[in-house]
Amino acid sequence: MTVFDDIVGQEPAVAHLRAAVAAPVHAYLLVGPPGSGKRTAATALAAALLCPLGGCGECDVCRRALAGGHPDVVLVERSGPSITVEQAREVRRLAMRSPNEGARKVLILTDFHLVREAASVLLKVLEEPPASTVFVILAEQVPPELVTIASRCVQVHFGPLTPLQVSAALVSEGVDAGVAAEVAAVAGGRLDRARLLANDVDFGSRRDAWREVPARLDGTGATVAVVASDLAELLSRAGVAALEARQAAELAELQERVDRTGERGAGRKVLTDRHKRELRRLRHDELRFGLATLAGVYGDALATGSAADTRACIEAVAAIQEAAEAMVRNPTESLLLQSLLLRLPPRRDRRAILDSPPG
C-alpha cells in the first residue's frame, strides 16, 4: 500500500509524482479537468513528501496528511469567484512560516486558473520560495496570462478518465455493475460526479424527464414556459440529497478530528465555502447533463427521420450546443432554457422523434 493507490487511471501522472518524492522541487502544477483526481493526487504527494518512508500510506504522518489533519499540509481554497489578492498575501505568509513538525511543509493551492489579479503576488512567492515550502498547485487549464507562473513549476498533466475506468472504480467501491456503467457513460470522465450519481436514486427519473422534452413541445410559448419551469424545478433539487449526505460526512469527520486533537482553525469555513461552490457546480453539471441528454434524443432520431425530420433534428442539436456554450457566460438559467426550447421544433414537425423510444 502507498499513498498513491487511490488515484484512478492516471498512471503517467502518478509515475511522475512518485519520482518527484525522491528529489522534490519547490512547486508542482497539476493540470487537468474537474474530477480527474488532481486533489487526491495533491494530498497523496503532500503525504509522501512528509512521510519518512516516502509515502508508505500506513504511518501516522501519512494517515494524518491524507485525512487533512497534518499541520504541515495546508489547503488553500478560494472563498469567492476567484483567488483574491488578500488570499494570495495569506499564501505568502503561510509559505514563510516554519514547519510545525519536520523540515518541510506543503501548501496545496486550488483553482489556480482563477487567480487573475492576484497572479503578481503569487509569482513573487514562487520566484523566491522558502526552502522549507513545497507548493502543489491545482488548475483546470493554464490561461495565457498565467503562463509565467506556470513556468516556475513542474507541470503534471491529468486527463479525463474513460467510462471504463470510471465504471471499474465504482464497481471496486461496491457499486452495482449496471449502475456503474450507466452513470460512467454520462459522467464526462469525472469520477467525483459518477460517485454522486451512483448514490442518487432520482438519476433515472431526471434522465427520463429530459428525454421527454421533445414530445411535450407543441410550438406555443405557453408550453415552453411550463416545460422550462419544470426543468428549472428539476435542476433545483437534482442530486442535492446525495451531495448533502457526502458533505455532512465531511463536516462530521472535521468535527471528530477537532474533538480528538483539540485542533483550532481546522478549516470549517473553508470546508463550508467549498460545499457552497459544490452545490453551485452541481446545478451547472446537471444542466449540462440535461442538455446532453436532450441532444441525444434528437441524435437518435436522425437515423430514422425523413429529410424534413433530419433538418429539424440537426437544427435542434445545433441550438442545444449553442446553449451549452452560452453557459460559460453564466446566463439566467430560466431564460437560457426558454430561449432554447423556443428554437426546438414542435412535435407536429418531428414524427420520427415521437416514434423513437427513449435512449
Say what the pLDDT of residue 41 is: 93
Q: What percent of the residues of the chain are helix, what percent strand, and what percent coil, each to the nearest 5?
A: 60, 5, 30
Q: Within 10 Å of residue 89's Cβ, how many Cβ atoms?
A: 14
- Report in angstroms the alpha-carbon separations of 253 from 145, 246, 259, 271: 38, 11, 10, 11
CB proximity list for 154: less than 8 A, separation 6 or greater: 20, 25, 27, 28, 29
Say what the pLDDT of residue 156 is: 93
How many CA atoms lie within 13 Å of 119's alpha carbon, on the beta-carbon side? 17
Residue 39 in contact with residue 110, Cβ under 8 Å? yes
Compute the distance between CA of residue 74 and CA of residue 266 in angstroms, rounded to an integer.
Answer: 10
Same domain, 144 and 209: no
Say what the pLDDT of residue 350 is: 47
- Which residue, 99, 127, 160, sits at the end of a domain? 160
Sheet holding 27-31, edge to edge: 73-76, 105-109, 133-139, 27-31, 154-157
**Structural domains counted in the chain:** 2
Same domain, 102 and 18: yes
122 falls within a domain: yes
Q: Which of 223, 243, 342 is closest to 286 using CA atoms?
A: 243
Residue 183 in contact with residue 164, Cβ under 8 Å? no
Per-residue pLDDT of the chain (359 residues; tens, 9 = 90+): 788 888 888 899 999 999 988 888 888 999 998 888 899 999 999 999 999 888 888 888 888 888 777 888 888 877 666 677 887 888 888 888 888 887 888 989 888 887 777 777 878 878 777 888 899 989 888 888 778 888 888 999 998 889 999 999 999 989 999 889 988 888 888 888 888 888 887 888 888 899 899 989 888 889 999 999 888 888 877 767 667 777 787 777 777 767 766 655 556 766 777 777 777 777 788 888 888 888 888 888 877 665 557 888 888 999 998 888 887 666 678 888 899 999 998 865 545 444 444 54
Indicate which CATH number applies to the domain containing 37.
3.40.50.300
177 falls within a domain: no
351 falls within a domain: yes
Same domain, 144 and 223: no
Q: Which of 337, 322, 325 is closest to 216 using CA atoms?
A: 337
194 falls within a domain: no
Place of cell 489547503: 75
Phi-psi category of residue 185: left, alpha or beta, with phi > 0 → left and psi -120 to 50 → alpha = alpha
Compute the distance between CA of residue 148 and CA of residue 297 in angstroms, rounded to an integer.
Answer: 45
171 falls within a domain: no
* Full DSSP string of 47-58: HHHHSTTSS-SS
Same domain, 255 and 347: yes
Same domain, 125 and 248: no
Compute the distance between CA of residue 239 and CA of residue 332 in angstroms, rounded to an integer.
Answer: 20
Same domain, 219 and 301: yes
Q: Which residues pair with 78 in a beta bridge?
A: none
Q: H helices within 212-267, ranges in order? A: 213-216, 221-237, 240-261
182 falls within a domain: no
- Which residue, 103, 131, 160, sits at the end of a domain? 160
Residue 129, SS3? coil
The cell for 114 is: 482563477
Residue 241: give the domain boundaries.
201-355
Compute the distance between CA of residue 344 and CA of residue 337 in angstroms, rounded to an integer.
Answer: 11
319 falls within a domain: yes
Q: Which of 343, 341, 354 is closest to 305 using CA atoms?
A: 354
